[in-house]
Amino acid sequence: MAGVAGGNDFQWCFSQVKGAIDEDVAEADIISTVEFNHSGELLATGDKGGRVVIFQHEQECKNRPHLRGEYNVYSTFQSHEPEFDYLKSLEIEEKINKIRWLPQQNSAHFLLSTNDKTIKLWKIGERDKRAEGYNLKDEDGRLRDPFRITSLRVPVLMPMDLMVEASPRRVFANAHTYHINSISVNSDHQTYLSADDLRINLWHLEITDRSFNIVDIKPANMEELTEVITAAECHPNQCNVFVYSSSKGTIRLCDMRTAALCDRHTKFFEEPEDPSSRSFFSEIISSISDVKFSHSGRYMMTRDYLSVKVWDLNMENRPVETYQVHEYLRSKLCSLYENDCIFDKFECCWNGSDRQETLALSLFKAICTYNVVLWTTFLPICKFKEYLWRIINDPLFPSFLSAIMTGSYNNFFRMFDRNTRKDITLEASRESSKPRATLKPRKVSTGGKRKKDEISVDSLDFNKKILHTAWHPKENVIAVAATNNLYIFQDKIN
Amino acid sequence: MISKGQKRKLHDDVVGGMRSATWESQRQSVLGISLDKYHRGKALVEPSLRRSVLIANTLRQIHIENKPPYGLVNLAGPLPPMVPSNPCTHRESGLGVVNSTSGVEDMEEVWMSSESDFSLSAAVSSILKELDLTVDGGPGPQAPQRTPFMSIENLPRDMGLKQAPTCYLQDVKLDELFHDIDTSVFDREMGVRALSAAASDELLKYLPSLSSVPSTSPSPFSLNQSFRDLNELEHIMEILVES
């Protein structure tokens, strides 16, 4: 069975690239976050200039059904403006740190976008009709004198060109002293949490003038500060559970039912340090830059500077899987510290759904694997379904596709297949940007001898970093942000 | 110039009583880079707290791992790091910065390393003190009253505690020396008319304000003294920064 990391049947190929080609990249155009919505129809990006650009997936052409449709611009709006904090004489950047979509409940789409200090709820709606024939207004908008009106008419809705409007519906401000690094929508779809360096607040989507403070790690004396919060996320199924990661490489899981203030964690995840690899930079590279729950909620994944770790929520003392992203950088940490690259915050993501199986396929696998046939004759059908559901959700049951993706330098990004244990390095570059061109795996040579097509560590471009990637929730389509360009890749349908 | 990160073999180094040259050179370069990052002045945008905390922790770790090597005698006395820090008391005691540098080679080495200790601990504490003042806009110590249902509307504690940040940034070199002073130790050791902790706190408060707000007038005694101290301190800072 082929996995995402290669094999005969599976290959990634180029689909689209968005963004300017100039060598001179304007700072404001640098993409700072990428997120698919829950259906995968929309893809949102935020940039350092405070803008949000939403792409929409066009329907496939009827005459060429084997091609997936393209993503085209759907809406662009200025989400945040630069501000000046007069009390501290400091600028507040308009850079969009995170975008999170709300689950769709009606025809409009809602998303949360945040900069360092303020979170905004945006509604993106379509309008394709307008009312004509007002009584008090002319067609060009001028008010009519009410005394001149001799007859009344009922306005009628006339079709018009599709217009996509983005309007801010809520502004959640003034609740964070420090820089917001994460927002996460809760599974109850009514609340969400926002985390800054030292505090985590819980908001209700309808209420903007107050929030609950649920975690506060600020010490009474700031001189004693040694640890900050780096990321936080709500559990995908349990609305009372969330996790937050720290700059010391620890993850704390908290249950909001235990106390109103969750300063004491329910679970504490930390991998003991390997004493043989200790260096001056051990703490910095252990700092977790991203934490993501798996779709099932049984696992979570953390990204630190050199690796990605998968944790089982039931095991706190070490991760169940560790994947090295760019271990060849370990000997370069001193220079990466000097040029500040060691502080780069890479994100990571799971593939669309942990289990892309239909029930029929599951049944087939169950029969082959567990010899279920013997049991079915003695069980009523509802019991059988229940039994089958438990089997396919058993962690030992092999899932069809489970993969994780994260970025690296030189516009490389890495994918790890959890089933086959294979990994692949791909590059997002203009050179390999021909339509449906297959991406060639890349390799970094670590030893003395550099093979052909390999690139040596010293030739890597550390200014070309892929910090933000996203995986379509249902299909094998990925979005990769490389500085100011957004690349979209998809799997080759054979 | 890329310096390779070395896997440091802790046991060998400590047991042997000698530091390996590569470890020491890496330590020096990391120390230099960290201090450089710290001193590089603030951008207009608020600095990242995570980055500052990580740099401060790295400095702290270097400081901890720079304990005098086993077997080397500390000739400068029980607390050499304190010697250059308080110009008032060390003048009384006769141990000046100049005096301690002239001397045995070993002593100088110890003094130099403790000088970097001093600058390290000063830098570490001042990074965080500064963060506190920059970010919160006021003295950090009191923890805000926090209830689960408190509305966090306008962060009232920030309102009345505005500092003039540019003034503070100019003074940071002085403050960084002062915050690390432990004058109670000197009181014990020297036993002279040492400033009591309270008096020295008073002095500390006045000194920064002197350079920024000339109109404030503390007592004449501390005024004269502190002007001399300012020059002396700047001189010391030059030495530290160059080392």
DSSP B179-197: TT--HHHHHHHH-SSPPPH
**Among A178, A276, A284, beta carbon nearest to B54:** A284
Angle subtended at Cα A286 by Cα A284 and Cα A288, rounded to the nearest 5 degrees? 105
* A125 within 8 A of A107, measured Cβ to Cβ: yes
**B15 — contact with chain A (CB < 8 Å)?**
no
Asked if the Cβ–Cβ distance from B58 to A221 is below 8 Å, we say no
Asked if the Cβ–Cβ distance from A228 to B136 is below 8 Å, we say no
- Rounded Cα gap, residues A249 and A131, in angstroms: 57
Chain B: give the shortest CA distance to residue A431, in Å: 30
Chain A: give the shortest CA distance to residue B79, in Å: 23
Closest CA to A288 of A175, A423, A181, A403: A181
**Among A223, A261, A281, beta carbon nearest to B129:** A223
Identify all chain B residues contacting A211, using CB atoms and an 8 Å cutoff. 152
Asked if the Cβ–Cβ distance from B58 to A280 is below 8 Å, we say yes
Identify all chain A residues contacting B44, using CB atoms and an 8 Å cutoff. 90-91
pLDDT at B236: 64
The Cβ of residue A207 has, within 10 Å, a number of other Cβ atoms equal to 12
Angle subtended at Cα A292 by Cα A193 and Cα A258, rounded to the nearest 5 degrees? 50
* A233 within 8 A of A219, measured Cβ to Cβ: no
* A466 within 8 A of A57, measured Cβ to Cβ: no
Chain B: give the shortest CA distance to residue A180, in Å: 11
Nearest 10 degrees: CA dihedral of A141, A145, A150, A152? 40
pLDDT, greater one: A284 or B8:
A284
Interface of B with A in 165-224 (CB under 8 A): 165-166
Provide the token pair at A336. 């990466």
Tokens 């740099």 belong to residue: B55
- Rounded Cα gap, residues B25 and A166, in angstroms: 56
- Rounded Cα gap, residues A113 and A167, in angstroms: 12
pLDDT at A161: 92
Provide the token pair at A302. 């953390």
Give me the phi and psi of A400, to 5 degrees please: -65, -45
pLDDT at B21: 80
Torsion sign, CA atoms A173, A178, A179, A182: negative
Give me the phi and psi of A124, to 5 degrees please: -115, 110
Tokens 């990605």 belong to residue: A308
* A191 within 8 A of A204, measured Cβ to Cβ: yes
Chain A residue at shortest CA distance from B1: A335
Q: Which residues contact A321 (CB under 8 A, 6 or more apart)?
A: A309, A310, A418
- Rounded Cα gap, residues B146 and B134, in angstroms: 22
Asked if the Cβ–Cβ distance from B8 to A278 is below 8 Å, we say yes
Asked if the Cβ–Cβ distance from B148 to A212 is below 8 Å, we say yes
**A450-459 burial, b for 16+ CB within 10 Å, e for fewer?**
eeeeebebee
Q: Say what angle helices B165-178 and B105-136 make with each other, to 10 degrees.
A: 150
DSSP state of B242: H
**Among B5, B129, B140, beta carbon nearest to A333:** B5
Chain A: give the shortest CA distance to residue B17, in Å: 19
ipTM of the complex: 0.85
Provide the token pair at A367. 């029969």
Identify all chain B residues contacting A281, using CB atoms and an 8 Å cutoff. 5, 58
- Rounded Cα gap, residues A378 and A492, in angstroms: 44
The Cβ of residue A263 has, within 10 Å, a number of other Cβ atoms equal to 12
- Rounded Cα gap, residues A174 and B27, in angstroms: 42
**B108 — contact with chain A (CB < 8 Å)?**
no
pLDDT at A465: 96
DSSP state of A331: G
pLDDT of B171 above 50: no
Closest CA to A193 of A207, A213, A177: A213
**Among B128, B152, B154, beta carbon nearest to A225:** B128
Tokens 């180094």 belong to residue: B13
**Among A174, A275, A284, beta carbon nearest to B155:** A174
Closest CA to B51 of A129, A247, A375, A147: A247
Closest CA to A77 of A142, A158, A167: A167
pTM over cut 0.90: no
- Return the biggest CA–CA distance within chain A: 92
Chain B: give the shortest CA distance to residue A311, in Å: 24
Cα-based distances in Å from B19 to A70, A334, B35, B114, B243: 61, 19, 22, 16, 20
Beta strand pairing call for A443-445 and A454-456: parallel
Closest CA to A480 of A308, A283, A348, A375: A348
Chain B: give the shortest CA distance to residue A220, in Å: 5
Asked if the Cβ–Cβ distance from B49 to A211 is below 8 Å, we say no
Asked if the Cβ–Cβ distance from B129 to A177 is below 8 Å, we say no
Provide the token pair at A423. 């990994």
Chain B residue at shortest CA distance from A344: B51
For chain A, the distance separating the N- and C-terminal CA atoms, rounded to the nearest angstrom, is 15
Asked if the Cβ–Cβ distance from B61 to A283 is below 8 Å, we say yes
Provide the token pair at A86. 């007069």
Asked if the Cβ–Cβ distance from A225 to B137 is below 8 Å, we say no
DSSP state of A408: -
Chain A: give the shortest CA distance to residue B60, in Å: 10
Asked if the Cβ–Cβ distance from B7 to A276 is below 8 Å, we say yes
Continuous H helices in A28-148: none
Chain B residue at shortest CA distance from A249: B54
Give the number of residues written for chain A. 494
Angle subtended at Cα B52 by Cα A252 and Cα B160, rounded to the nearest 5 degrees? 95
- Rounded Cα gap, residues A361 and A367, in angstroms: 10
Cα-based distances in Å from B155 to A89, A162, B142, B158: 16, 43, 14, 6
* A482 within 8 A of A494, measured Cβ to Cβ: no
**B145 — contact with chain A (CB < 8 Å)?**
no
Model pLDDT for residues A439-466, shown as the tens digit of each residue: 999 999 887 777 888 999 999 999 999 9
- Give the pLDDT mean for B86-91: 38
Identify all chain B residues contacting A280, using CB atoms and an 8 Å cutoff. 5, 26-27, 30, 58, 61-62
* A485 within 8 A of A19, measured Cβ to Cβ: yes
Chain A: give the shortest CA distance to residue B27, in Å: 8
Give me the phi and psi of A180, to 5 degrees please: -70, 130
* A383 within 8 A of A372, measured Cβ to Cβ: no
Chain B: give the shortest CA distance to residue A339, in Å: 10
- DSSP annotation string for A289-325: -EEEE-TTSSEEEEE-SSEEEEEETT--SS-SEEEES
pLDDT at A307: 97
* B194 within 8 A of B89, measured Cβ to Cβ: yes
- Rounded Cα gap, residues A35 and A43, in angstroms: 6
Asked if the Cβ–Cβ distance from A177 to B148 is below 8 Å, we say no
Provide the token pair at A183. 């927002």
Cα-based distances in Å from B22 to A278, B8, B45: 15, 9, 37
Interface of B with A in 17-46 (CB under 8 A): 26-27, 29-30, 33, 44-46
* A212 within 8 A of A228, measured Cβ to Cβ: no
Asked if the Cβ–Cβ distance from B158 to A177 is below 8 Å, we say yes
Residue A69: CA count within 13 A, CB half-sphere? 14
The residue ranges of chain A whose pLDDT is under 70 are 1-10, 61-67, 354-382, 384-385, 388-389, 391-400, 493-494
Chain B residue at shortest CA distance from A284: B54
Residue A28 exposed, middle or buried by CB count within 10 Å (0-12, 13-18, 19+): middle
Which of A94, A193, A338 to mutate: most B Cβ within 10 Å? A338
- Rounded Cα gap, residues A305 and A109, in angstroms: 34
**B156 — contact with chain A (CB < 8 Å)?**
no
Cα-based distances in Å from A181 to A78, A289, B48: 20, 10, 11
Q: How many contacts, defined by CB atoms under 8 Å, are there between A and B?
A: 144
Cα-based distances in Å from B169 to A458, B32, B42, B134, B174: 38, 21, 9, 10, 10
Chain A: give the shortest CA distance to residue B78, in Å: 26
Nearest 10 degrees: CA dihedral of A23, A446, A450, A483? -10
pLDDT of B112 above 50: no
